[in-house]
Structure 1
Amino acid sequence: MLIGELAAATGMGRDTLRFYERLGLIAGERRANGYRDFPPETVPWLQYVRTAQALGFTLAEIRRVGEELREAPDSAAALSALFEEKLRAVDARMAELAALREELAARVDTGCPLRAAQ
């Protein structure tokens, strides 16, 4: 499948697909004429990438996760473990944000928002 066909099938732009290729998220073989030729399984993989991004995974995490899932004997268990890991990261970030919110709220109406509340 040529890059234009892949773009049409996924709704992604060619520049995005080239970027993903540079990151190693997708790989296309070069034809004799220099055109990229992507295997059909690239379409569902890119749908997975979009879903993973919507769930808060970075492209680096998605690349790592993809490698881990391909090597895992039980991909469902491996995926659950990755979700649990991401949940722990989200919980930690939520705690950090709650503490930041409290700090900001304590500084409201202090006359100088950069001074600590007394």
Structure 2
Amino acid sequence: MAIITGLKIGEVAKQTGVAVGALRYYESLGLIQSERGENSYRYYAPETVQQVQFIKKAQALGFSLEDIGEVLTVHRQGDVPCEFVQSLLQDKIQQLEAQIQEMVAFKSSLEQYRDTWAADHSHPQPGDICPLIESVEGTI
């Protein structure tokens, strides 16, 4: 049998600051690959360190592991995935904009409740927990 050389999982973890469990998870998702030696240890190519650092940077930008997998697939097919990354980033920006609008509307609703409740002097009835919250119609 051929001797497999490369980095053991602990060495990759140490060089990247990523936990061994996370590296195994990345491998299960196909983000990184290893080969098994005769001793059943995982051995990673030196470029795995760069790949894991790329994954960490992409996550810091808000990309999901699924997104990152797609980017790496494009790369492995021999294409430069930058245009694809820009498309993903634009989608992420639009999602954030929608979330911001939802949060602003929710904040406004809470402020209305706060202002209305500040003038409310009702007293709890038997069995009530808090008449203010119980006065809310439906769900916010």
TM range (shorter): 0.7 to 0.9
Mapped contact 1:3–1:37 kept (Cα < 8 A): yes
TM-score by length of 1: 0.82
Q: In structure 2, what is the equivalent of residue 87 of structure 1?
A: 93
Deviation at 1:113, TM superposition (A): 4.1
Q: Alignment RMSD, CA only?
A: 2.0
Mapped contact 2:71–2:84 kept (Cα < 8 A): no
Which of 54, 58, 81 aligns to 2:60? It is 54
Mapped contact 2:71–2:81 kept (Cα < 8 A): no
| Uncovered stretches (5+) of structure 2, i.e. residues with no partner | 1-6, 118-131
Pick closer, same or farther for the CA change 1:63–1:108 going to 2, 3 Å: same
Greater C-alpha Rg: 2
TM-score by length of 2: 0.71
Q: Secondary structure at the match of 2:11?
A: helix
Q: Secondary structure at the match of 2:116?
A: coil
| Uncovered stretches (5+) of structure 1, i.e. residues with no partner | none
Higher helix share: 1
Q: In structure 1, what is the equivalent of residue 10 of structure 2?
A: 4
Number of equivalences:
116
- Paired with 1:56 and 1:26, the residues of 2 have a C-alpha distance of 19
